[in-house]
Structures are given as C-alpha cells and as structure tokens.
Amino acid sequence: MSPGEERKLIEVVNSHAADIQALQAVILGLAAQLYSEQGESGLDYAKEKAIAAANNVGSPFGIRPNRNLINNLFEVAKKS
C-alpha cells in the first residue's frame, strides 16, 4: 500500500468513526430521555429489544453487533 493509499484509508476510517460516535451520542441521549420518562422498566424493555434486534442482524462476513457496547450504552443512560 502506498503512503497516499494509506492516508486515504485512514481518512475513511476516521470519518466512519466520527459518524459512529455521533450516532452513539444521539442514541445515548434518546436512551437517557427514555429513562427519565419511563424509568428503569422502560429502559430495560428497550435494551431487551435492542439485544433481540442485534441477535437478528446478519452479515456476510460473520460480524455481529457488539452486545457489550449495547449493554454499556443502556447502563450509561441510567447515569446521564
């Protein structure tokens, strides 16, 4: 890989990382709002739904959603 190609790859990866962080911030804000409105039971139900959705996501590469990240996000929402 040439230095130019490597630089371009890094730019693309960093761009995707920034997008993922933005989505994570939005989701955390929504989960925190849900927690403030519906309490722990509402947040727990949303977490169950998120885990179920993650279990049903397929990938041709065998990549699965990070369930630890999902669990952590909902725990952080309780503290936000």
Enter the tokens of residue 16: 């995707």
pTM: 0.76
pLDDT of residue 51: 95
Q: Where along the chain do its domains lie?
A: 3-79
Q: What is the mean pLDDT of each run of 10 residues along the chain (80 residues)?
A: 90 89 94 95 96 87 89 91
pLDDT of residue 42: 96
d(CA 13, CA 26): 20
Residue 28 and residue 80 in contact, taking contact as beta carbons nearer than 8 Å: yes
Residue pointed to by tokens 């139900």: 45
pLDDT of residue 27: 94
pLDDT of residue 35: 95
**CB contact burial 31-64 (16+ within 10 A = b; e otherwise):** bbebbeeeeeeebeebbeebeeeeeeeeeeeeee
